[in-house]
Amino acid sequence: GKRLFSMGEELFKEKTVSDVNIYLACQYYKEAVAFSEECKPRPEFLMKAEEQLAKAQKELEVRYKDLMFAYKKSIKLKNFYKTKEVLEEILRLIPEKKDPKHMDAKDILGRLNQALKSAQ
């Protein structure tokens, strides 16, 4: 559990390097918490892991909402190349293919790519 927590900490520190690091940090924090919750006595790092998980999840959600705002704005302005760029950022931010946010972005991106090809 402690090792998973440490890996989450490293990735969260590197969040500015790549958006995916926030997502991966969340995953490691979740695993660290799940792995350590049943331990008696509670490991010292567990409370910190729970706090960091909440912080990372909030940051991930804020980043996602910012991207969704940019997506809606680009659609409104009919700047479809910007739309494509934003959707690709969402896919990088949330790499889990089974996540509904990833699936939605991928679906819209696929349809947008088709429309852009047809328009040429």
Spatial contact of 116 and 84, defined as CB atoms under 8 Å apart = yes
Alpha helices, DSSP H, located in 1-120: 2-13, 20-36, 46-76, 80-93, 100-119
Q: Please report the pLDDT score of residue 5 as a whole number.
A: 86
Question: Where residue 26 falls among pLDDT bands split at 50, 70, 90?
Answer: very high
Q: Dig out the tokens for 18 from the structure.
A: 């790549």
Question: In the numeric block, which tokens belong to residue 65?
Answer: 């909402």
Q: At what angle do helices 80-93 and 46-76 cross, to 10 degrees?
A: 170
pLDDT of residue 38: 81
CA distance 16 to 12: 9
Q: What is the pLDDT of residues 68-119, one digit of tens each?
A: 999 999 999 999 999 999 999 999 999 999 999 999 999 999 999 998 888 7
